[in-house]
Structure 1
Amino acid sequence: MNSGAVNIRRAARGDEDSILGLIGELAEYERLAHEVTATPALLAEHLFGDNAVAEALLAEIDGAAVGFALFFRNFSTFLGRPGLYLEDLYVREACRGRGIGRALLKRLADLARERGYGRMEWSVLNWNQPAIEFYQSLGAEAMSDWTVYRLSRDGQVPELPPPAGPKYR
């Protein structure tokens, strides 16, 4: 699979199985396979449906998917402009070192500039030194003053207890 040229394209309806396969590989790499509950139908709805909330790019060699970037728009109150949040970037191990990750990030940066976005952001697992070094080689900076928080239980946002103190309306 290392023989052909790399093609980066926007994912489209019909790519759900390829994307889900890459998500599964990423989850294995990140030691989080037990957390994957995505299905082709959910990807179709949320990436390509009438109310799509995310987008994806696919990297292909000879028509076979070898990597992807899944992203969505966020917003910076300080900049007063939207931004691009990269949820996942993954390249199959056998295809790493060919510039595919860099090509995916370049396409994302181009899209962000075309759309007038103020920045790109993403998270990296603290133990993933190869990814950290790769991002730093591109000039990305770790936001060491920030900690990511999450509210999620079994793939759903849990109900929170009411605030203590005076009653809220």
Structure 2
Amino acid sequence: MIRLAHTAQLPSAELDAVRALLEGAFADFDLPGWENTLGGMHALTFDGDDLVGHASLVQRRLLHGDRVLNTGYVEGVAVHPDHRRRGVASALMAAMEDLLPGYEVGALSATRAGAPLYAGRGWQQWRGPTFALTPAGVRRTEDDDGGVYVFPGRASLDLDGALTADWRAGDVW
């Protein structure tokens, strides 16, 4: 069973469990990565009292063509190793996708391991160049090319066009 809650509704013990799960799932998980998962809706699943899966959806702004897109951005998707390949990640993503109609588009940055899950759920790989709107201006983020996926909503998208993310600490995408 998936439980949805806003960051503000999560007790400290659950936030600590989410952070521990993410630190275990991603070797390079750091404080900015943690902060980027907060401030939105979280999907959590438990085995008894133990957190075994998490995903969050935060609001971001992406620039595409001449549009600023109100974006539901998926962060912190992780499943405990003992519970993988049991549909947990699919259930977490279904919960996130149910929230996307409130946004013009959904987006996320996928690891190689996660990309097949997202593609299989209808997320589309962004084929065009990626950028970030940094304090020093728009900068190319070519290392992120091919790793960004979008879930089309109300906005018309050219998957071969440029996509620019709003600035944030840590990984921009």
TM surpasses 0.5: yes
Alignment match, 2:15 = 16
- Aligned residues with identical type, % of pairs: 18
C-alpha distance in 2, partners of 1:26/1:57? 16
> Residues 101, 74 of structure 1: CA spacing in aligned structure 2 closer, same or farther, 3 A cutoff?
same
5+ unaligned residues in a row in structure 2: which ranges? 136-167
Counterpart CA distance in 2 for 1:117 and 1:37 is 27
Check the 8 A contact 1:7/1:61 in 2, yes or no: no
More strand per residue: 2
- 2:107 is aligned to 121
Q: Is the 8 A contact 2:56 2:96 kept in 1?
A: no
Q: Distance in 2 between matches of 1:83 and 1:150?
A: 15
Give the SS at the match of 1:69. Answer: strand
Q: TM-score, normalised by structure 1?
A: 0.63
CA shift in 2, pair 1:150/1:91, >3 Å: farther
Q: Deviation at 1:75?
A: 3.2
In the alignment of these two chains, the number of paired residues is: 131
Provide closer, same or farther for how the CA distance between residues 144 and 80 of structure 1 changes in structure 2, counting only shifts above 3 A. closer
CA pair 81-145 structure 1, distance change in 2 beyond 3 A:
closer
Q: CA offset at residue 148 of structure 1?
A: 5.1
Which of 1 and 2 has greater Rg?
1
Give yes or no for contact 2:72–2:106 (8 Å, CA) kept in 1. Answer: yes
**Does the residue aligned with 1:70 lie in a helix, a strand or coil?**
strand
- Where 1:121 maps in the other structure, the secondary structure is strand
Structure 1 unmatched ranges of 5 or more: 1-5, 48-52, 158-169
Residues 93 and 151 (structure 1 numbering): CA distance in 2 closer, same or farther, change over 3 Å? farther
